[in-house]
């Protein structure tokens, strides 16, 4: 109950700073509320750490975004681990691009079942970024994500079946996964399905 109450307080604060007039910047109300969250975050409260990262994201303070997501990630919070992976893969938020660090954080989240991290880790194995290229591992992680209805992974596992990379080549399986992705609005899967032999479209 205590954690739920803290989460509700954090969520209401984020909503308030996104709505015009709900926080009085001139009186220092904003700073006071951020400080309240910071105290909770420093005590190790993951919800407060994540909410601080999101608040600082709104105001473009990349160093604080990365700092608080890292604090949450180090406590095992999968979404924060995934976000760090994205930052390291792409060199975002002032983080130097580092594929090995991206793989490290994606794997942490992927092993907890976080679908988008599984999808991205699969692509790292497919491309050989930060790891030795391994199509079988790419298939493993992409399929794990695809089975959780992650549309990019569904398209990409379809592409693996389409070309026989890491799996036995199968237009039927490719079409199956492309259609799953298309049902969720993935435009690339539409193009890939159209590239299959006519009897499989």
Does 132 have pLDDT greater than 80? yes
Tally of CB atoms within 10 A around 165: 14
Place of tokens 């608040």: 55
Does 3 have pLDDT greater than 70? no
Q: What is the pLDDT of residue 26?
A: 52
Q: What is the pLDDT of residue 17?
A: 46
Instruction: Report the distance separating Cα 141 and Cα 160, nearest Å.
Output: 12
Q: What is the pLDDT of residues 43-71, one digit of tens each?
A: 999 999 999 999 888 888 999 999 999 99
The CATH architecture of the domain made up of 76-144 is Alpha Horseshoe (1.25)
Locate the domains of the chain by residue range: 1-71, 76-144, 149-201
């Amino acid at each position: 109950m205590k954690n739920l109450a803290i989460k509700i307080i954090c969520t209401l604060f984020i909503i308030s700073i996104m709505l015009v007039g709900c926080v009085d910047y001139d009186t220092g109300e904003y700073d006071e509320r951020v400080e309240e969250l910071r105290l909770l975050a420093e005590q190790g409260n993951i919800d407060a750490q994540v909410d601080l990262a999101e608040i600082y994201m709104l105001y473009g303070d990349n160093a604080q975004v990365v700092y608080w997501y890292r604090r949450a990630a180090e406590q095992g919070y999968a979404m924060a681990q995934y976000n760090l992976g994205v930052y390291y893969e792409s060199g975002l938020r002032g983080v130097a691009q580092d594929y090995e660090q991206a793989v490290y954080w994606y794997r942490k989240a992927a092993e907890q079942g976080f679908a988008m991290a599984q999808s991205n880790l699969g692509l790292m194995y497919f491309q050989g970024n930060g790891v030795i290229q391994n199509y079988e591992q790419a298939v493993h992680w992409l399929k794990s994500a695809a089975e959780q209805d992650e549309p990019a992974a569904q398209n990409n596992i379809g592409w693996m079946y389409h070309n026989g990379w890491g799996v036995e080549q199968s237009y039927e399986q490719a079409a199956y996964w492309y259609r799953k992705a298309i049902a969720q609005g993935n435009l690339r899967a539409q193009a890939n399905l159209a590239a299959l032999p006519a009897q499989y479209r």
